Amino acid sequence: MKQFTVSDPEFRKYGHVIEGYDLSAVLEAMEKTPCPDSVLYVPSSPEMEALPFFKEVTEREFGGLPAQFGYCNGKNKSMNALEYHRSSEINIACTDLVLMLGMEQDIDPETHTYDTSKAEAFFVPKGTMLEVYGTTLHYAPCNTEESGFRCVVLLHRDTNLPLETKPAPVGEDRLLFARNKWLIAHEEAASEIEQGAFVGLVGENPSI
């Protein structure tokens, strides 16, 4: 898999680096969050949402719409699955980490499968804030250090929460896994498959 950094021009189709924020309080608070040997995702953290930063980022990056301040921490080395939303996601790397990214436009419109050879990896240095576009396929970060990774995840409110109503599994609706979350899993992603994820990543399950 090709690997770049988020400062490279190759990242521009997936998102962009956001500057102009004081992230010191966020980085300090994230050091206190758990970092297990597996992957932990918390959609909304009351402690993080109490930070003054949350009000600022909601006003500036979400245009005043309701948002949620969560995080994804742990240890991971493989792609396993890719997801997309109908809205952008804001990430803050609280450790060095790597994101494996693809484009929704490369999903086969007939089979809704995705060839993992089209994905690219991007190194994100600690303290970097990103917008990841809604058309960008992404999933859990990969750690570059043995101690694991910590990553802030800011999204529109209620994203990734359980669906109230699940549509019939036809067409793209087969990918709808949670609120505002369309997910495509690799056949090696046992945990996601057990939860009902659509198996549609074809090719290798890339790892770093």
Q: Spell out the per-residue pLDDT of the chain, length 208, in tens.
A: 889 999 999 999 999 999 999 999 999 999 999 999 999 999 999 999 999 999 999 999 999 999 999 999 999 999 999 999 999 999 999 999 999 999 999 999 999 999 999 999 999 999 999 999 999 999 999 999 999 999 999 999 999 999 999 999 999 999 999 999 999 999 999 999 999 999 999 999 999 9
Number of domains in the chain: 1
83 within some domain: yes
139 within some domain: yes
Kindly report the number of other CB atoms within 10 A of residue 44's CB atom: 19
17 within some domain: yes
Q: Could you report the per-residue pLDDT of 7-64, keeping only the tens digit for each?
A: 999 999 999 999 999 999 999 999 999 999 999 999 999 999 999 999 999 999 999 9
207 within some domain: no
53 lies in which domain range? 3-202
Q: Torsion over CA of 139, 3, 124 and 13, rounded to 10 degrees? A: -70
158 within some domain: yes
Let me know if 34 is exposed, middle or buried by CB neighbors in 10 A (0-12, 13-18, 19+). exposed
Q: What is the CATH number of the domain that holds 62?
A: 2.60.120.10
| CA–CA distance, 98 with 201 (Å, rounded to integer) | 19
208 within some domain: no
23 within some domain: yes
